[in-house]
Structure 1
Amino acid sequence: MDTVDTSGSGNGETGAPQLDVAGELTEHALGHLFSAALRTAASCRIADHLASAPRTPDELAPLTDTDAGQLRRVLRYLATRGIFREDEAGAFHLTPVGDALRTDVPHSQHAMVMMLTEETFQRTSAGLEETVRKSGPSFERIYGKPFFEHLATDPALRKLFDDGMTSFSAPVNEVVAETYPFPERGTVVDVGGGRGGLLLSILRRHPGLTGVLFDQAPAVSRHVLGEDELKGRWRAESGDFFAGAPEGGDIYVIKHVLHDWPDDACLRILRNCRAAMAPGARVLIVDAVLPAGNDPHPGKALDVAMAAVVDGKERTEEEFTRLLGEAGLRVTRTLPTRAFPSVVEAVAA
C-alpha cells in the first residue's frame, strides 16, 4: 500500500511544513492579472472615489460605470497586495499605496501606472522570451523600430509616456534635491532633463544655484521652469547628448538616462559630459543601484523592462564604477535616497 509523506517538505527534512508550491507558482504565473487589475482600478479612478470615505462596491459601481460584483472581485484581489483594504462591512479603504493612485494629490502615480500597464508595454513584456533567446529588445521586433523612434511616430503614446515619466520622476526629483549636498553657488546642467522637473526641484531648494536644461527641442519646449522665483537663474539648451553637452557646468546631473542605453552608448554621453566639465566639476548619476543578493528591489524589475523595451539596463555599483572609469571619471561616493534610486557621484579621474 502506498503512503503519502506528510511529515516534511520532501527535501529530507522532517517536521518542516509542506510548501504549497503549486499555489505559489499559480499566483506568480497570474501576475499579468495583477497589472490588469491595477490598470482597471486606475482607469476607473477608484482611488479618487475613496478619497473622502470608504465605499462598498455597490456604492462605487454607479460612480464608476462598473458592475458591483465584478468590481468587488478586482478590489478584493488588489487588497491582497496592499493597494486597498477591505473592512468587515465590505467597504474598501485607501492605503498609503492606493492613495498615490489618486489624480489630485502631489506626486500622483496615476499616470505612471497607466503608462506601464498600457497595451504597448504589455505586448513587449509578453515577448520577453525573445529578448532572452535573441538578445535584443522585444519591442523592436514587435513594432519594427527602436522605442524612441516609435514614440516620434505615435503622438498619443508619446504623451502617455511623457505624462507617465513625469509622474514617475516627481517624487525622485524632490528626494534628490534634498539628499545630495549641492553647493551654495554654481551651475547645474540637467543632461537629458526632459521638461526640467529635477532642475526645478534643485533650484527651488538651493536659491544660489543656476541651471541649464539640456535635452532635445520637443522636450525643453514643454519645460516647467517658468516660475517667477526662477527668472534669470536658468536657460534651456536643445541638443543631442550623444553629440555633446553644455560647457562649463559645475554639476552635471544625469537622471534616468543611462538605464535606457547599453554601455557603449552611455560612454558617449559620459565622455561628452567629461569633456564639457569645468575644473572641479562633478557628475551625478541618478538611477537604481542594484543590490546584491535575493532581496526584492524595484530596480530589478526595471532592469528586465529595460532589456525588453530599449536594450538598456540597471546597474550595480561595480558596473557604474567600471563604466564611469572608462569615461575618465572616478566614483567618489554613492548616496542612497528614501526613494529607490541612488545618487552616484563622480569627478574627473
Structure 2
Amino acid sequence: MASQSSSLKSLAETISQTANALAAKLEQDGFPAPSFAEDGLADYPKMPELMGIRMTLLDAVADLQRLALGPMDSNFLVPILLNYDATAIDILNQFDFWGAVPLGGSATYAEIATKVNLPESLVRRILKYATTNRIFASAPGAPDSIVHTSISAAPAKNPLLRSWIRHNFEEARPGAVHMPESFRKFSAGKDQPSEEPTESGFSTANVDHLDKPENFWDYMARDVEGKPKGWRADEFAASMKAAASASAIKVEDLLKTGYDWPKLGDVTVVDIGGSGGHDALVLTEAFPNLKKYVVQDLPEVEASFTERVPEDQRARISFEPHDFFKPQQTKGDVYILKTILHDWPDKYAAQILRPLVTHLESGSRLLLVEAIAPPDITQLPFNTLARMMGAADFQMLNAFNSLERSIDDWKGLLAKVDGRLEITYTSQVPGSLHNFIEIQIRA
C-alpha cells in the first residue's frame, strides 16, 4: 500500500516496473496482452503471483491519478465523474447497448438508436461519453459507426455480467444514495446503529411508494409488471453467480476441499436455506458418507428443487419447507448455513442460530460458509483490495443493515446466541472468497 510520502516520480517508477512485470508474466504463461481491442484479454488468470503484481500496479495508478488531480480537482471532478460514469453504464445496460453493436462488426448511431429505441441525438451523447471510459469506440475510418472494445464486449458475451450491473445500478445504487438519510433517521444520536433491515439505505429508497417499509427479500418477492413471476429473484441469483466468478476457487471446489467430510462418517446433513439443491448434488456425489441430505427452504423454492434434483437422487436428497426463523424440527448430524448470515444483522442472525442450539447440545455441528473479513482493512497490503473489502461491507450495510464479519465479529455473534458456542475450525483455501466456519458446543 502506497504511503503518504509517495511522489509523482516514485509512483511512476512503480507503475513502469510493475506494468513490465505484468506484461512479462502474461507472455511467459501464454496469455494475450491486455488491450482495448474487442478480442483483448477478458479476464486475468487467477494466479496469486499475478494478483500481487496487479494489485501493486492498481494501487500506484490510483494514487498517481489522485496526485495528478490534486486536492481541489479531486474534490471538484471526482464526484461528478463518479456520478455520470455510473449513470452511463446503467443506461447502456438497461437499454442493452451491448447487443445493439454486433460482436466482430460495427453499427451506425442510427442503427443503434433503432435497436435501443431511443432518439439518435441521445444515443450519440451517451456513447460519446461512454467512449471516454473506453466503453465502445468509434469504428476506425468510420467516425459515425461504433465498435466494441474489450470492456463493452464482456457484458455482450456474458449475461451474468449484465445481471451484476443491473443489480448494482438498479437496486444497490438507489439505496446507496439514501444511506445518509437512513443514518439520520435511524442511527444518528444513538449508541448503536440500526439493526432493522427495513431501516437500511435500500429500504429507505423504496419506501415512498409502499404502504409500509419492506426489507430486501420482500422486494425480491414482489412481482414486476411485464416480467415473468420470480424475475427479480432469478436476476439476483444470476448476479450472485457473477460475483462468485471473481473467486479463484469455484464454489463447488470450496465445498469439496474446504472441509474434511469423510471424517464425519455416515451422517445426515441439513442444508438450511439450501435453495434448489445445487450444493446437495455437489456434496453427495463427492462424499458417499453423506447418507441423507435434507434441503430446507421456503415452500416456493420446492419447484426449483424438483426441477434440479433428478428423481433417482431423491431417496438420498429430500426437500423440506422451512423458515429458518422457526424452530428446527429435523434431526441432523451437520447443519449448514451457506452465505445466509451475512445478509442479516446480529439481531436477526442470532434468531436464525438459536433454534439450532438444542441440536448442537446433542453433539451435532454447525457449518457456516461465509466470508471472514480482515480485522482492519486499512492494514491490508493493497489499498485496492482494502477498497474492495470495504465496498463489500458497504453493500451489506446498504441492503440489509448487516455487515461482512471478521473472526471477532463471528465470535461476538455466537456469544449473543449462547456462551458455549465455539468456533472449532476455519478453512484456509487460498484464492477463495469464502471459508468454512465449524461451530460446536464447548465441552
Q: TM-score range by the shorter chain?
A: 0.7 to 0.9
Q: How far 1:242 moved relative to its partner?
A: 1.3
Partner of 1:344: 437
CA distance in 2, matches of 1:63, 1:103: 23
List aligned pairs for 1:259-274, cutoff 5 A: 259-274=342-357
User: Cα deviation per residue 1:244-278 (whole Å; 9 max; x = unaligned)?
Assistant: 23533233221232122221211121222332348
In the aligned structure 2, how far is the partner of 1:263 from the partner of 1:191? 18
Quote the Cα distance in structure 1 between the aligned partners of 2:312 and 2:406. 38
Q: Shift of the alpha carbon at 1:73?
A: 2.7
Name the structure 1 match of 2:87. 36
SS at match of 2:271: strand
User: Using the alignment, how far apart are the partners of 1:239 and 1:258 within structure 2?
Assistant: 16
- Partners of 1:198 and 1:32 in 2: how far apart? 39
Is the partner of 1:155 in helix, strand or coil?
Answer: coil
Q: 1:333: Cα distance to partner? A: 1.5
Q: Amino acid of the residue matched to residue 213 of structure 2? A: K
The aligned runs of 1:145-294 (5 Å cut-off) are 145-148=213-216, 150-151=218-219, 154-156=222-224, 159-170=230-241, 171=244, 173-184=251-262, 185-206=266-287, 208-209=289-290, 210-223=292-305, 225-227=308-310, 230-245=313-328, 247-277=330-360, 281-291=364-374, 292-294=376-378
* Contact map agreement 1:190 1:212 (CA 8 A) in 2: yes
Q: 1:37 to 1:342 in 2, by over 3 A?
A: farther
Q: CA deviation at 1:282?
A: 3.3
1:109 counterpart residue number: 161
Secondary structure in 2 matching 1:235: strand
Question: Percent identity among equivalent residues?
Answer: 17
- Note the aligned Cα RMSD (angstroms): 3.8
Structure 1 residues 209-262: Cα deviation after superposition (integer angstroms, max 9, x where no partner): 342211221233433532356332211111221112353323322123212222
Answer whether contact 1:57 1:69 (CA < 8 A) is retained: no
Q: Distance in 1 between the 2:352 and 2:83 partners?
A: 35
* CA-CA distance at 1:320 after TM superposition: 0.9
Change (3 A) 1:20 1:228: farther
Instruction: Provide Cα deviations, 1:29-73, integer angstroms capped at 9, x if missing partner.
Output: 543433333333333445557785364665972684364633533
- Structure 2: runs of 5 or more not aligned: 11-66, 141-145, 188-198, 245-249
Instruction: State the secondary structure of the residue aligned to 1:167.
Output: helix
Residue 308 of structure 2 aligns to a residue whose secondary structure is: coil
Looking at structure 1, the residues matched to 156 and 408 of structure 2 have their Cα atoms a distance apart, in angstroms, of 35
**AA paired with 1:53?**
G
The residue aligned with 2:411 is: 321
Q: Which has the higher contact order (CA 8 A, sep 6+)?
A: 2
- The SS at the match of 2:88 is helix
Measure, in 1, the Cα distance between the counterparts of 2:101 and 2:73.
31
User: In the TM superposition, what whole-angstrom CA distance separates every residue of 1:299-327 from its partner, at most 9, and x where no partner exists?
Assistant: 42232233233222221121012223443
Q: Give the AA of the match of 1:248.
A: K
- Deviation of 1:168 after TM superposition, in Å, equals 3.4
Aligned residue for 1:290, secondary structure, equals: coil
- Give the equivalent residue in structure 1 for 2:131: 76
SS in 1 for 2:431: coil
Q: 1:33 to 1:203 in 2, by over 3 A?
A: farther
- For structure 1, the 5+ residue unaligned runs are 1-9
Map Cα deviations across residues 83-135 of structure 1 (whole Å, 9 max, x no partner). Answer: x575994742335x96366456xxx23323323322x5433222111222232
Distance 1:56 1:222 in 2: 40
**Cα separation, 1, equivalents of 2:285 and 2:149:** 35
Q: Who is 1:3 aligned against?
A: none
Bigger helix fraction? 2
Return the letter of the residue paired with 1:198.
D
1:285 aligns to what SS in structure 2?
A: strand
Whether the 8 Å CA contact 2:370–2:435 is kept in 1: the answer is yes
Q: Aligned match of 1:127 in 178, 203, 206?
A: 178
Indicate if the aligned counterparts of 1:190 and 1:253 stay in contact, CA closer than 8 A: yes
